[in-house]
Amino acid sequence: MSLTNASPEQAARAAKVSSRKLAALPTAARNAALDAVHDALAGARADILAANSRDVEFAKQSAASGELSLSILKRLDLSRKGKFDDMLQGIRDVRALEDPVGRVDLRTELDDGLILQRQTCPIGVLLIIFEARPEVIANIASLAIKSANAAILKGGKESTESFKIISTIISKALANTDVPNDSIQLVTTRDAVDPLLELSEYIDLVIPRGSNELVRHCQRKAHMPVLGHADGLCSIYIHADADEDMAVNVVVDSKTDYPAACNAVETLLVHENVLKTVLPKVASALISKGVALRCDQASRAALSKHLPQDRALLLHDVSDADFSTEFLDLVLAIRTITPDGNKPTSAVDAAIEHINTHGSHHTDAIITASKEVADRFCNGVDSACKFWNCSTRFCDGMRFGFGTEVGISTNKVHARGPVGLEGLMIHEYRLSGMGQGAAMYGSGGRQYKHKKLPLL
């Protein structure tokens, strides 16, 4: 691992060459490197937090002058409760996972002595670009090492101090392991992003971690595939039969647990039958937590009647644009769902249509007592994650049990939803024979057996 001032092309070429060596390292060598990284970071907690506090201090000044959003400030702070420990535990979790390399998932006897095998292998070279979250360096480095992928890490200016110290510590820790020196490249050169995004000869996949703008920039400029999501516009639909307490728990957690996260809820859809029953309880709990509610006409009318006067005064009108906005803050847009005619499914269908039209295909939830309605919702919504009676905040690689995650993907190919180790692998086919040619087969010739064989 090297913290270089190498040019983007030098870094990428070096990573590509190292990637073939890294791909051949045995499991034990990669796990030993993860242990070294974990122990080194754990031992340097105080130094890392001190460096991070300098980043946070600087960011606070930028936030005060309006140059930086509060949500970025929140993501930057490694001293937030549990964040450092989560980072360390993430490395341990990844180490504890099964080796994802070389797993055979298909074996077929094409003919006598002609055996096809499909097995997993690393993708090659990953480019990880991140802005504020400094713990991403440790996450990504450990996922890269475990999955035998080389990685180029490019940090943002907001986390410069944290990035420098964490990467120096990781670099020293890896120097005594078998992981090739160039297989994890740390690029600090300014303006390196655009040149890196053109190096499809060396870089196989880009994973941007940061603002919507960063992700969109990568999607627009990259000559190689980009994994991730630009927006996290998640919705919750409260159906007519929703349990009151459940609705309160789920919506409050989805909105307030970490409003700056991509899996926080931004739009609440409410069946008209529960505007006066469930919604006031939900709204009251949200207002208590400081959430600003932006309501459509029907929901505002109902809440104005059924909330105490002082709370009703805090309501706002929603605009059309609010339903396409990722607030990343304590703001929630509310829309009433009115069934169209007598068709029993028309309310859930209207919610599905709203979500497919305005949402970002990330995570959407329904609160209903009916499995049938929940299934219809899940079948109809075109999103990576469909949740029934639980918080959108569960959309997360660690919570899903993947160890840690490289990000959450709304892509329709390769990996979708929280992406852990599996998303960093691709497969290869190996065929072994005894001199066979394809001309032997077909009409009048030999026939393929295509006999499924047990996986070894």
Give the CA distances from residue 385 to residues 15, 349, 365, 419, in Å, rounded to whole numbers and listed in that order.
Answer: 34, 18, 8, 12
**Nearest approach, Cβ of residue 419 and a copy of itself (Å):** 11
Residue 61 beta carbon to a copy of itself: minimum distance, rounded to whole angstroms? 30
The least distance separating a copy of itself from the CB of residue 312, rounded to whole angstroms, comes to 26
CB of 392 to a copy of itself, least distance (A): 9
CB atoms within 10 A of CB 118: 15
CA–CA distance, 437 with 372 (Å, rounded to integer): 53
The Cα-based distances of 161 to 84, 93, 164, 176 in angstroms read 16, 26, 5, 24
One-character DSSP codes across 185-248: EEE--TT-HHHHHT-TTT--EEEEES-HHHHHHHHHH-SS-B-S-S---EEEEE-TT--HHHHH
Three-class secondary structure of residue 6 per DSSP = coil
We find the least distance from the C-beta atom of residue 209 to a copy of itself, in angstroms, to be 17
Can you spell out the DSSP letters for 69-86? -HHHHHHH-TTSTTHHHH
Least distance in angstroms from the C-beta of 188 to a copy of itself: 26
Nearest residue (CB) to a copy of itself, 194 versus 382: 382
What would the two tokens of residue 251 be?
């919506």
DSSP letter for 344, please: T
From CA 143, how far away is CA 32, in angstroms rounded? 14
- The residue among 280 and 417 lying less far from a copy of itself, judged by its C-beta, is 417
Q: Report the residue number, 19 or 167, with the smaller CB distance to a copy of itself.
A: 19
Considering the complex, state which of residue 383 and residue 404 has its C-beta at the smaller distance from a copy of itself: 383
Q: Smallest distance from the beta carbon of 253 to a copy of itself, in angstroms?
A: 3
Instruction: Let me know the angle formed at the C-alpha of 191 by 186 and 192, rounded to the nearest 5 degrees.
Output: 40
Q: Which is nearer to a copy of itself, 8 or 420 (CB)?
A: 420
| C-beta closer to a copy of itself: residue 130 or 377 | 377
Residue 219: half-sphere exposure toward Cβ, Cα within 13 Å: 16
Sequence-distant (6+) residues with CB within 8 A of 257 are 264, 391, 393
Question: Residue 366 has what DSSP assignment?
Answer: E
The nearer residue to a copy of itself, 70 or 426, going by C-beta atoms, is 426
Q: DSSP assignment, residue 149?
A: -
Read off the DSSP letter of residue 281: H
Q: Which two tokens stand for residue 331?
A: 């703001």
The pair phi, psi for residue 126, each rounded to 5°, is -105, 140
Closest approach of Cβ 330 to a copy of itself, in Å?
15
Comparison of 239 and 393: residue with beta carbon closer to a copy of itself = 393
Please, what is the minimum distance in Å from the beta carbon of residue 433 to a copy of itself? 3
Residue 427 CB, shortest distance to a copy of itself, in Å, is 6
H or E element at residue 309? helix 309-312
